[in-house]
Amino acid sequence: MSTQFDCVSYLKTLIDNIDWVITTSNREIYFKYDAGAATKLTLTVGNYTTAELLTHLKTLLDTAFTITSAVTYVSNKFSIKVEAGHTIQYIDSGTTLEIGFTADSLNAFSITADTAVYVYFQYVDYLTRKNITKLGKRFPAVFLEDGDESWAEAGGSRYDVMHKVRLYLIDNINQDRLETLLEMQDVLTDLIIANNTLGGNAICMFVESIEKGEYYQGEVDFTRAGYNDNISVRIITLNIWERIA
């Protein structure tokens, strides 16, 4: 029988493996190769790790221009390089994929975005005091409460296990609008629903919001947004039923 820790570990791995979310509204990017016509590249909708997104972009570039390119993500900035003697240029007009270029780039064999862009969830870990202190400025973050709130219910030749897990989605509303936090909440919950493989059974979610930080008896109270007055927390309680024959 699965245990509560199995379920929490499964969720942590799932969230760890999402860095970028590509939808129909942010999947297009334009480039010019060797100062030619602007060419649209269309990414496949889905959730990507950074490595997967880099590979996908490289494949699209190589296919579109019949080249061998290199796409990297270093210090939160994307760079694209083509073979010596050739040039690549990012074109802003028509582009919906945000990878840090704020205007048309230079026409060069190597281009680097002028601004940093960040993965969806910059820090994912279990909810412990030690891990909270590691948070720093890595927002948004997801903490998973590792408890033992699971129980089984027998019925005939099978039984069901109900896992109860709390997730804490944390963001700094000085850095991002509250709407961004709600977007992250939707991404997180949609990801869990779409990838629930625990027997394909139902998930019941309850979400509550806690604004502002406060201290409790001189200690950081995790459920009250920690120690920063600008931090906002969405607590997502998952009830996941696992059917076991």
Tens digit of pLDDT per residue, the chain (245 long)?
444 446 778 788 888 877 888 888 899 999 999 999 999 999 999 888 899 999 999 999 999 999 999 999 998 899 999 999 999 999 999 999 999 999 999 999 999 999 988 877 888 888 877 887 777 777 788 888 865 455 555 555 555 677 778 888 887 766 555 566 777 788 788 777 777 665 555 566 666 665 554 434 444 454 444 445 567 778 888 777 766 65
- Dist CA 149 CA 3 (whole Å): 9
Calpha distance 4→149 (Å, rounded): 7
Residue 150: which H helix or E strand, with range? strand 150-155
Query: Which residue segments constitute the domains of the chain, with CATH numbers given?
Result: 4-17+120-244 (3.30.2000.30), 20-112 (no CATH)
> 3-class DSSP state for residue 145?
coil
